[in-house]
């Protein structure tokens, strides 16, 4: 741009690129839809898997949308927003990540058509938000309430989440295991899967060997080789301090002038340690777990009395053992009483070579449990892990929300049909956006149909006809290829998963459509950090210069 007297005024650094207007919108939409199309083929029980290979050659084989998007290298900012959709969906409800991303892609495809018709993006966004709110009302009105005692429905929810995720050969076993794990840790408060259920991988065997341990498994070994490997009818003492001579809080010197005085000093230390071990023995403990260390003298006394000790256990694992065994944590070995001890039918060290783990099994009413996943390959075990995590989370969501829906594309078709009726009540251009939202909702059952090798046109026509006649639970049984009432199947999904996928997709699409100008810096390989943002001058506090040698 020229200034006064023909002097050029540089507004934008020539080394930086800029995309504006329709070009910016088209580029953002294309990038986001590319990501959605990449995961679309994984949707449903018959969806395909993706193989991800990282820079060192490690392989991940999965059809989990969140895992795929988090492991691929994405550069475009609009595409990164799609990754955020999957993260939000995973964090909030634990499943439905692929559906949320695919729906966002369908919405952007419909929005692009409207933009070509000169419908302003803000009008499209307003219409999409109206449609999302109406869709939520429709879903809630068609949801079915259940109770925590309805074990069969909960099992079907788990089966639906597990389907198509590399675990078909043990689908029923894994569904039962999921329900047992949830029921074991459930109490009057919210189910805490993150802290009370851990999934451990065990190389060898097959998926069908995966089982639930009513207790905990920790990645530790015995503190001393002379200790017993196995303790039956274990009485477990939990300490958050070490069994060792405590150092004084103040520096002190002891002047020793004769060997007898040295022997006396050592004797006092031995006596202190022995008193701690004797106190543990008197309490009836035959297993001791500490968060801190155990010195050699203590190990000697513990091993001599056939006590299995485990030291330097992580705080998180220590708390899980407490929840599993009903033990109480004590901060002094001298304070441990019989009432403080946890119980387990068996505490045992198992493993091959240097790789050992300690098993706490047969706990009475454990509030923390372990799922031991067996497989012949790590990438298979990882996929079963992800499938179990999804199943556990959706069952948790149903227990918390008490509302479910029949799947097979039935909810999406019903929402699409009612949204088109709702659109006719609107007078502005938002009507076009609501109809577009309805068409995008039909994109989910269309993808489900295509991934099953069926004709989407025929299936969608049949589904629309059934729903027009008031059969709002009719969907596609992808296993048989039939359009049928999904009440006669085990395909059940939580209401919250459906609602959250609509919310996540709508918010992300609105953000992408509002962008009409993209500035991009030329990549130099170095961060262009302002002086006031450097780490040595952070928050206005300048760090001292320590030179090059430090």
Question: What whole-number distance in Å separates Cα of residue 230 and Cα of residue 347?
Answer: 6
Q: Tokens standing for 471?
A: 């059969």
DSSP secondary structure of 153-199: HHHHHHHHHHTTSS-GGGHHHHHHHHHHHHHHH--SS---HHHHEEE
Question: What whole-number distance in Å separates Cα of residue 459 and Cα of residue 297?
Answer: 75
Task: Map residue 235 onto helix, strand or coil.
Answer: strand
Strand 355-361 vs strand 342-352: parallel, antiparallel, or unpaired?
antiparallel
Distances (CA, A) of 38 to 244, 447, 501: 57, 12, 18
Question: What whole-number distance in Å separates Cα of residue 3 and Cα of residue 544?
Answer: 46
Q: What is the 3-state secondary structure (H, E, C) of 186-213?
A: CCCCCCCHHHHEEEEEEEECCHHHCEEE
Residues marked active site are found at 64, 97-98, 390
Among 380, 371, 378, CA closest to 169: 380
Please name the residues in contact with 536: beta carbons below 8 A apart, sequence gap of 6 or more.
Answer: 542, 543
Question: What whole-number distance in Å separates Cα of residue 306 and Cα of residue 294?
Answer: 15
Strand order in the sheet with 369-375: 197-203, 369-375, 211-213
* Eight-state DSSP code of residue 228: -
Task: Map residue 267 onto helix, strand or coil.
Answer: helix
Question: What whole-number distance in Å separates Cα of residue 256 and Cα of residue 262?
Answer: 6
Helix segments in 284-341, DSSP class H = 296-304, 315-325
Check if the beta carbon of residue 212 is closer than 8 Å to that of residue 181.
yes
Taken in order 51, 53, 54, 60, the sign of the CA dihedral is positive
* Eight-state DSSP code of residue 119: -
């Amino acid at each position: 741009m020229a200034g006064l007297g023909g002097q050029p005024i540089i507004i934008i650094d020539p080394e930086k690129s800029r995309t504006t207007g329709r070009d910016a919108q088209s580029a953002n939409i294309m990038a986001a839809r590319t990501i959605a199309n990449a995961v679309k083929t994984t949707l449903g029980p018959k969806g395909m898997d993706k193989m991800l290979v990282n820079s060192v050659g490690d392989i991940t084989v999965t059809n989990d949308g969140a895992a795929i998007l988090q492991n691929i290298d994405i550069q475009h900012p609009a595409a990164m927003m799609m990754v955020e959709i999957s993260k939000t969906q995973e964090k909030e409800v634990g499943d439905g990540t692929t559906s949320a991303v695919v729906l966002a892609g369908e919405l952007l495809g419909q929005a692009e058509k409207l933009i070509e018709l000169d419908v302003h993006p803000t009008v499209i966004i307003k219409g999409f938000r109206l449609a999302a709110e109406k869709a939520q009302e429709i879903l809630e009105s068609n949801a079915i309430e259940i109770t925590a005692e309805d074990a069969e429905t909960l099992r079907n929810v788990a089966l639906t989440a597990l389907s198509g995720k590399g675990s078909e050969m043990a689908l029923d076993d894994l569904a039962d295991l999921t329900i047992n794990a949830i029921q074991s840790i459930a109490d009057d408060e919210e189910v805490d899967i993150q802290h009370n259920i851990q999934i451990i991988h065990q190389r060898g065997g097959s998926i069908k060997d995966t089982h639930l341990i009513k207790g905990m498994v920790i990645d530790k070994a015995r503190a001393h080789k002379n200790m017993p490997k196995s303790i039956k009818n274990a009485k477990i003492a939990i300490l958050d301090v070490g069994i060792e001579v405590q150092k004084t809080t103040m520096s002190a010197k002891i002047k020793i002038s004769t060997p007898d005085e040295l022997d006396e000093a050592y004797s006092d230390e031995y006596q202190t340690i022995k008193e701690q071990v004797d106190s543990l023995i008197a309490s009836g403990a035959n297993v001791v777990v500490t968060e801190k260390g155990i010195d050699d003298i203590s190990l000697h006394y513990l091993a001599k009395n056939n006590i299995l000790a485990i030291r330097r256990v992580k705080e998180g694992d220590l708390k899980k053992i407490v929840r599993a065994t009903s033990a109480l944590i004590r901060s002094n070995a001298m304070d441990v009483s019989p009432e403080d001890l946890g119980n387990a039918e068996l505490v045992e060290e198992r493993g091959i070579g240097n790789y050992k783990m300690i098993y706490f099994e047969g706990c009475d009413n454990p509030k923390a449990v372990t799922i031991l996943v067996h497989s012949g390959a790590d990438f298979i075990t990882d996929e079963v892990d992800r499938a179990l995590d999804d199943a556990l989370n959706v069952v948790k969501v149903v227990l918390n929300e008490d509302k479910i829906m029949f799947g097979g594309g039935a909810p999406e078709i019903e929402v699409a049909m009612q949204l088109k009726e709702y659109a006719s009540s609107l007078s502005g251009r938002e009507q076009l956006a609501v109809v577009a939202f309805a068409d995008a909702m039909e994109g989910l059952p269309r993808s489900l149909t295509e991934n099953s090798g069926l004709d989407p046109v025929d299936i969608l026509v049949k589904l629309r006809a059934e729903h027009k006649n008031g059969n709002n639970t009719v969907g596609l049984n992808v296993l048989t290829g039939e359009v049928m009432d999904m009440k006669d199947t085990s395909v059940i999904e939580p209401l919250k998963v459906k609602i959250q996928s609509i919310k996540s997709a709508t918010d992300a699409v609105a953000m992408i459509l509002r962008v009409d100008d993209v500035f991009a810096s030329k990549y130099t390989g170095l961060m262009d950090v302002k002086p006031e943002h450097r780490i040595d001058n952070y928050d206005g506090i300048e760090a001292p210069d320590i030179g090059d040698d430090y």
